[in-house]
Amino acid sequence: MKKTKIICTIGPSTYSREMLRIMMENGMDVARINMSHATRDEARNIIYTIRELNRELKMNVGILIDTKGPELTLKAYSDEDTMLCEGDTVVLTVKDSSKNNEKFLVNYPGLIQDVKKGDKILLEEGTIELVVVDETIDDVICEVVTGGCIKNDIGLNVPDVNLNIDFLSIADKSDITFASSIDADYIALSFVRNANDVLDVNDMLIQLRNEHMQIISKIENKSAIEDLNNIIKVSEGIMVARGDLGVETSFEEVPYLQKKIVHESLLSNKICIVATQMLASMEYYSKPTRAEVSDIANAVIDGVDAVMLSGETAVGKYPLETLETMKRIITNMEDNLDYDKFMLDKKDEAQDDITTIIASNVTSSANKLKAKAIVASSVSGYTARMISSFRPRCPIIVTTPEEKTARSLSLNYGTYPVVTPTFESTDEMLDNSINEAKKIIPLENDKIIITGSIPIKANSTNFMKIEEIK
């Protein structure tokens, strides 16, 4: 059983009910809906289908809504692609009036005020590079440093420049309200700059009376790196969004930044996701490159909670093969991890509250006894998250009476949530724990570790029991 979770972006290649079912049965833990591409009706249909399949398959696949964020794009007035060559002059305009085929419209009017002569402007994930040489009232005049093909609505980045752009657009606010209305499990915030951006969304969720939806902050610019620790504090999870991060910084910095972000997130007991181009070649080919295999394996070695597939499952030719490939790489790497090192690293930073101490001892005992499973009874999911943060060798079966709690654990490392009736006694909880473990894992002369609360309705986890299954 794999412990590192897989997020799959849903798109034209995977919209159908049958494909969603197959992906759920083959390792998809969370479905990502990217609001930069999906319509509201498409998103709603995907969510309803997954919720129906969850009930049918007795699974708890989560839903992650990804906002568009304050993204800069470039629009060409001509319907045809434009080839730029080194030394060409390019005019970026913020005024949509002339329909001049020689100009390209930028969707951010403040660009004129924010950039100056000599600033670098990157297009198409950094493959095209421009430098600002002059400005007028409505235009930024640039020279092409590195050429390429401009298509409509390509992304635009201005590294090393703080753009005075609102974090939440009207569209983003609408998408967050939509995510709340359909009870999504996670909201991923694009282009977070600082902790205040996250707090603004948190305030919005409070106003919507939806405080349980977890905020995943995407780290993809220098401002976010500079305020990383504060962003981690106010977020439920962090995503290393390597696409724009590699443009806003430099591509050679990304591996170091990835490890730094993962390390800081794990120390703070926050969900950590690595994303972008993990199996990019499989959009077009049925097998991955060796470098992609190593990339996924290294993320697993670092202990991330989840890895994400983007275009590979949204528009790729081989979505199911891609998912199965990622699952095989994860499983093989997890069989060879040094779980004792995870434990030692974590114990140095662990707090001294009762639940954390129980979680530490549960994990340590499970590793030493080679237990087949940990079974954690939890209403809120807090105990399961704490055990997960220590990265035990065996899976964590989480019994909970709350469906929302079960789905809220779909990104946490090693967790397998099961919705159960509310227990009336400790004996009932213990019996159920054994039965649920037997359903999920073959057990014969094996040990499992059960943790929960005594009395059954106590507010915190306070016991662990080692059970030998005959």
Q: C-alpha distances in angstroms, 76 versus 82, 102, 154?
A: 8, 9, 9
For residues 273 and 141, membership in a common domain is answered with: no
Last residue of a domain, one of 283, 308, 334: 334
For residues 91 and 198, membership in a common domain is answered with: no
Structure-model confidence comparison of residues 119 and 71, the more confident one: 119
Do the domain assignments include residue 162? no
Q: Is the pLDDT of residue 98 over 70?
A: no
Dump the DSSP string for 167-201. SS-HHHHHHHHHHHHTT-SEEEETT--SHHHHHHH
For residues 319 and 390, membership in a common domain is answered with: no
Q: Is the pLDDT of residue 352 over 80?
A: no
In contact, 37 and 117? CB cutoff 8 Å: no
Q: What is the pTM of this model?
A: 0.93
Do the domain assignments include residue 123? yes
For residues 364 and 432, membership in a common domain is answered with: yes
- pLDDT tens-place string over residues 199-211: 999 999 999 999 8
For residues 88 and 56, membership in a common domain is answered with: no
Do the domain assignments include residue 388? yes
Structure-model confidence comparison of residues 452 and 293, the more confident one: 293
Structure-model confidence comparison of residues 355 and 334, the more confident one: 334
Do the domain assignments include residue 185? yes
For residues 12 and 60, membership in a common domain is answered with: yes
Backbone φ and ψ for 28, nearest 5 degrees, come out as -75, 120
Do the domain assignments include residue 459? yes
Query: Band of the pLDDT at 120, cuts 50, 70, 90?
Result: very high
Q: Is the pLDDT of residue 253 over 80?
A: yes
In contact, 385 and 405? CB cutoff 8 Å: no
DSSP-assigned beta bridge partners for residue 466: 449
Average pLDDT, stretch 108-126?
Answer: 92
Backbone φ and ψ for 116, nearest 5 degrees, come out as -140, 170
pLDDT at 101: 67
Number of structural domains (the chain) is 3
Average pLDDT, stretch 275-283?
Answer: 97
For residues 202 and 305, membership in a common domain is answered with: yes
Q: Is the pLDDT of residue 412 over 90?
A: yes
Q: DSSP character for 155?
A: E
Buried b (16+ CB within 10 A) or exposed e, 407-417: bbbbbbbbbbb
CATH of the domain at 267: 3.20.20.60
Structure-model confidence comparison of residues 452 and 187, the more confident one: 187
Q: Is the peptide bond before 455 cis (omega within 30 degrees of 0)?
A: yes
For residues 366 and 461, membership in a common domain is answered with: yes
**Angle CA(158)–CA(162)–CA(166) in degrees, nearest 5?**
100
Dump the DSSP string for 358-398. HHHHHHHHHHHHT-SEEEEE-SSSHHHHHHHHT--SS-EEE
3-state secondary structure of 415: strand
For residues 204 and 149, membership in a common domain is answered with: no
For residues 203 and 222, membership in a common domain is answered with: yes
Last residue of a domain, one of 334, 361, 376: 334
Neighbouring CB atoms inside 10 A of 134's CB total 12
Query: Band of the pLDDT at 100, cuts 50, 70, 90?
Result: low
CATH of the domain at 357: 3.40.1380.20
For residues 373 and 402, membership in a common domain is answered with: yes
Query: Band of the pLDDT at 328, cuts 50, 70, 90?
Result: very high
Q: In which domain, by residue range, is 234 found?
A: 5-69+167-334
3-state secondary structure of 288: coil
For residues 317 and 411, membership in a common domain is answered with: no
Q: Is the pLDDT of residue 346 over 90?
A: no
- pLDDT tens-place string over residues 47-74: 999 999 999 999 999 999 999 998 888 8
Identify the residue whose tokens are 């939440």.
168
CATH of the domain at 112: 2.40.33.10
Last residue of a domain, one of 126, 157, 188: 157
Do the domain assignments include residue 354? yes
